[in-house]
Copies of this chain bind each other. A is one copy, B any other.
């Protein structure tokens, strides 16, 4: 391919110098290591791009363009300016997988002008090419001819080279909690139709669509992840799929009036991101999406503290009768009903004495916080969309002594975590927001789990439409004013905004552990999530379910179960990193397995460094991480329904040191289906030169904790060579 050879000859340089704006047909950009090349050109007035990896196109020539109600910004363009630059900086996140993140890219900003307009219109395409992928966005600078715009469509294409394998879920404007489909593009339609039985649509997007982050494995064995970064003041993006031509293009979430966004110049779209590698581990390690987000906006971040928590929560799922509601009187209205006068149902779990048991357990085992769901007025009359007030966020049930519990928890060195279920009534949540946060401050809370179950109020909105995307950010920013950390559930899936607003610690925004009681998560589910959902930010997956048999609270289904081994639940604490991580099972279940629970107690929630050792989407992940505040390393490995042998080289360890490793492995007879609770624990010594082969059971796992040892502590332990 002659054209590409020319480009490669220039290495990381740019082919711009010889071209004048007017005659310029192509504008090319290389990644710092030269592996990726981005080419932007205007063909008969229409902007388009192509992306190459190691000399081969991986995104075929793809259209760019925006269509506004007031202006068609998709054709009649000429290139009137080209600017290029490079950037290389290492920054320190408040928390995360790495203490230091390198943000290193070459940038191209191409100014496109519609010169035939009476007042010429200008759009800038800004592209940043990293070693691990591409980000580009549309920028609309201040100009005479446009000010307010309503988005009709974004035409951005991602044209694939063949019938690649997708790891995907169907497009929906309100939910991301689907089971994943793994299939060639040509088969995703029928496969998703089958998978939808596990979780039905809430607001299906028209046509054949998939959600992002979309993970792709090409027919050539390349790995591609398509997503967006910094979703601010814009609609969330789905992808339309042409399963005959393998062309994808942007599908913006409309509001319910059919408008896809309201813009004012100057403005820009989120970054459209394409992570690329021939090694799946690179996709997991990529920090491209964080890098494309703005730096932290808070001057002081000392109040943002990663934490592990337990909660009065799981016991409402597992069919033993626990309820969020205080009463069964289904006509109680928060703020209207006097809850002290209605009869309690006797199965309400968020009551003072029970919460104290959790506090005691958390205190005893060094768990930072206890979440309590069902503490506040409103759960009797569950609804969403149908009424303007569902919950009060400053009214505890009569059996929840908020002041007494604050004192009790403080004395035990444990924080309580607040819960704000909004029933998707975002407007009422905003109505109560200041009072809600002030109530938290007044009662010693510093973190809140928010929830958006149901259809959105304002009724013009979807979970992923523009107004809601701004709502979530508003909540995070306002929370920061009160020193509050956010763990949001059912919000739009993340796009790396936790870099900018690091108190937005984690989100759910995918099919979490709770679904194990509702038909289950497939054994490969958590081998896909880190390649998809987690690229946007941490997930509050709620791992650590040791008792894998249970019922479902909703309709009395009896034989629900976790689709992993016990050890895999432990490994998820490492493979699904989050600065706010739940040990989700009941204290009584942890008490039954104290030696295994020891790992959950020890595993950090914030990391200095991470090494992805083995990875294949849908199959397996093995990762080693170094704790941020101690000389300790942790490994998590998981596999899908197939047993496998993890092959771990410890060469990530520092030279000359020995570590005592506690290996938590599936028992030889372990199997998620037939014998999930079989595990074995052994203690060995490892060093940089060690290698380990360890079998993982079907849907099994492996968890290892390593602390530096010395001659006395390693004495008598076998060293792995």
Q: Interface digits, A357-393 against B, CB 8 Å rule (1 contact, 0 not)? A: 0000000000000000000000001010111100000
A461 on the B face (CB < 8 A): yes
Knowing A257-B459, A427-B427, A434-B435, say if A470 contacts B388 (CB, 8 Å): yes
User: Which residues of A (389-437) have their CB < 8 Å from a CB of B?
Assistant: 427, 430-431, 433-435
A233 on the B face (CB < 8 A): yes
Q: How far is the CB of A428 from chain B (nearest CB, A)?
A: 9
Please name all residues of chain B whose beta carbon is closer than 8 Å to the beta carbon of A467 when the two chains form the complex: 388, 427, 457-459
Q: Interface digits, A311-331 against B, CB 8 Å rule (1 contact, 0 not)? A: 000000000000000000011
- The docked-state distance in angstroms from the alpha carbon of A461 to that of B467 is 14
Please name all residues of chain B whose beta carbon is closer than 8 Å to the beta carbon of A460 when the two chains form the complex: 256-257, 458-461
Please name all residues of chain B whose beta carbon is closer than 8 Å to the beta carbon of A461 when the two chains form the complex: 458, 460
Please name all residues of chain B whose beta carbon is closer than 8 Å to the beta carbon of A435 when the two chains form the complex: 434
A524 on the B face (CB < 8 A): no
Q: How far is the CB of A470 from chain B (nearest CB, A)?
A: 6
Q: How far is the CB of A415 from chain B (nearest CB, A)?
A: 25
Contact of A264 among B257, B386, B457, B458 (CB under 8 A): B386
Contact of A388 among B233, B255, B385 (CB under 8 A): B233
A262 on the B face (CB < 8 A): yes
User: Which residues of A (435-452) have their CB < 8 Å from a CB of B?
Assistant: 435
Please name all residues of chain B whose beta carbon is closer than 8 Å to the beta carbon of A331 when the two chains form the complex: 142, 147, 265-266
A657 on the B face (CB < 8 A): no
- The docked-state distance in angstroms from the alpha carbon of A262 to that of B388 is 8
- The docked-state distance in angstroms from the alpha carbon of A142 to that of B330 is 11
User: Which residues of A (231-261) have their CB < 8 Å from a CB of B?
Assistant: 233, 255-257, 259
A10 on the B face (CB < 8 A): no
Interface size of A in residues (CB-CB distance below 8 Å)? 36
A119 on the B face (CB < 8 A): no
In the complex, what residue of chain B is closest to A474 when comparing beta carbons?
B431
Q: How far is the CB of A132 from chain B (nearest CB, A)?
A: 32
- The docked-state distance in angstroms from the alpha carbon of A381 to that of B148 is 10
Contact of A458 among B148, B387, B433, B458 (CB under 8 A): B458
Q: How far is the CB of A332 from chain B (nearest CB, A)?
A: 11
Q: How far is the CB of A139 from chain B (nearest CB, A)?
A: 15
Please state if A427 and B458 are interface contacts (CB–CB under 8 Å): yes
- The docked-state distance in angstroms from the alpha carbon of A142 to that of B336 is 14
- The docked-state distance in angstroms from the alpha carbon of A147 to that of B150 is 38
In the complex, what residue of chain B is closest to A149 when comparing beta carbons?
B386
Please state if A387 and B148 are interface contacts (CB–CB under 8 Å): yes
Please name all residues of chain B whose beta carbon is closer than 8 Å to the beta carbon of A388 when the two chains form the complex: 233, 262, 467, 470
User: Which residues of A (258-284) have their CB < 8 Å from a CB of B?
Assistant: 259, 262, 264-266
In the complex, what residue of chain B is closest to A434 when comparing beta carbons?
B434
Q: Interface digits, A452-473 against B, CB 8 Å rule (1 contact, 0 not)? A: 0000011111000001001000
Please state if A148 and B386 are interface contacts (CB–CB under 8 Å): yes
In the complex, what residue of chain B is closest to A383 when comparing beta carbons?
B148
In the complex, what residue of chain B is closest to A267 when comparing beta carbons?
B387
Contact of A427 among B259, B264, B430 (CB under 8 A): B430
Contact of A430 among B148, B386, B431 (CB under 8 A): B431
Please name all residues of chain B whose beta carbon is closer than 8 Å to the beta carbon of A433 when the two chains form the complex: 431
- The docked-state distance in angstroms from the alpha carbon of A388 to that of B460 is 14
Q: How far is the CB of A258 from chain B (nearest CB, A)?
A: 11
Please name all residues of chain B whose beta carbon is closer than 8 Å to the beta carbon of A266 when the two chains form the complex: 331
- The docked-state distance in angstroms from the alpha carbon of A436 to that of B435 is 14
Please state if A262 and B474 are interface contacts (CB–CB under 8 Å): no
In the complex, what residue of chain B is closest to A466 when comparing beta carbons?
B388
Q: How far is the CB of A381 from chain B (nearest CB, A)?
A: 8
Please name all residues of chain B whose beta carbon is closer than 8 Å to the beta carbon of A142 when the two chains form the complex: 331
In the complex, what residue of chain B is closest to A150 when comparing beta carbons?
B386
Please name all residues of chain B whose beta carbon is closer than 8 Å to the beta carbon of A383 when the two chains form the complex: 148, 264
Please name all residues of chain B whose beta carbon is closer than 8 Å to the beta carbon of A148 when the two chains form the complex: 383, 386-387
Q: How far is the CB of A240 from chain B (nearest CB, A)?
A: 24
- The docked-state distance in angstroms from the alpha carbon of A188 to that of B530 is 67
In the complex, what residue of chain B is closest to A259 when comparing beta carbons?
B459
Q: How far is the CB of A13 from chain B (nearest CB, A)?
A: 37
- The docked-state distance in angstroms from the alpha carbon of A95 to that of B470 is 42
- The docked-state distance in angstroms from the alpha carbon of A29 to that of B461 is 47
- The docked-state distance in angstroms from the alpha carbon of A630 to that of B79 is 78
User: Which residues of A (663-691) have their CB < 8 Å from a CB of B?
Assistant: none
Q: How far is the CB of A520 from chain B (nearest CB, A)?
A: 31
- The docked-state distance in angstroms from the alpha carbon of A531 to that of B430 is 39
In the complex, what residue of chain B is closest to A388 when comparing beta carbons?
B470
- The docked-state distance in angstroms from the alpha carbon of A266 to that of B333 is 10
Please name all residues of chain B whose beta carbon is closer than 8 Å to the beta carbon of A459 when the two chains form the complex: 255, 257, 259, 458, 460, 467
Q: Interface digits, A133-177 against B, CB 8 Å rule (1 contact, 0 not)? A: 000000000100001101000000000000000000000000000
- The docked-state distance in angstroms from the alpha carbon of A459 to that of B257 is 8
- The docked-state distance in angstroms from the alpha carbon of A330 to that of B266 is 12
Please name all residues of chain B whose beta carbon is closer than 8 Å to the beta carbon of A387 when the two chains form the complex: 148, 262, 264
- The docked-state distance in angstroms from the alpha carbon of A116 to that of B262 is 50
Q: How far is the CB of A145 from chain B (nearest CB, A)?
A: 13
In the complex, what residue of chain B is closest to A426 when comparing beta carbons?
B427
In the complex, what residue of chain B is closest to A331 when comparing beta carbons?
B142
Q: Interface digits, A481-492 against B, CB 8 Å rule (1 contact, 0 not)? A: 000000000000
Please name all residues of chain B whose beta carbon is closer than 8 Å to the beta carbon of A233 when the two chains form the complex: 388
- The docked-state distance in angstroms from the alpha carbon of A259 to that of B459 is 10
Please state if B458 and A386 are interface contacts (CB–CB under 8 Å): no
Please state if A262 and B386 are interface contacts (CB–CB under 8 Å): yes
- The docked-state distance in angstroms from the alpha carbon of A46 to that of B229 is 59
In the complex, what residue of chain B is closest to A233 when comparing beta carbons?
B388
User: Please, could you name 21 A-B residue pairs with CB atoms under 8 Å apart, sorted by A?
Assistant: A147-B331, A148-B383, A148-B386, A148-B387, A256-B256, A259-B459, A262-B386, A264-B386, A266-B331, A388-B470, A427-B427, A427-B430, A427-B458, A430-B430, A431-B433, A431-B474, A434-B435, A458-B459, A458-B461, A459-B460, A460-B460
Can you name 14 extra interface pairs (CB under 8 A) apart from A265-B331, A458-B461?
A142-B331, A147-B330, A148-B386, A255-B459, A256-B460, A259-B459, A262-B385, A264-B381, A427-B427, A430-B430, A457-B458, A457-B467, A458-B460, A460-B460
For the complex of A and B, 8 pairs with smallest distance between CB atoms: A458-B458, A460-B460, A434-B434, A459-B460, A148-B386, A264-B387, A430-B431, A262-B386
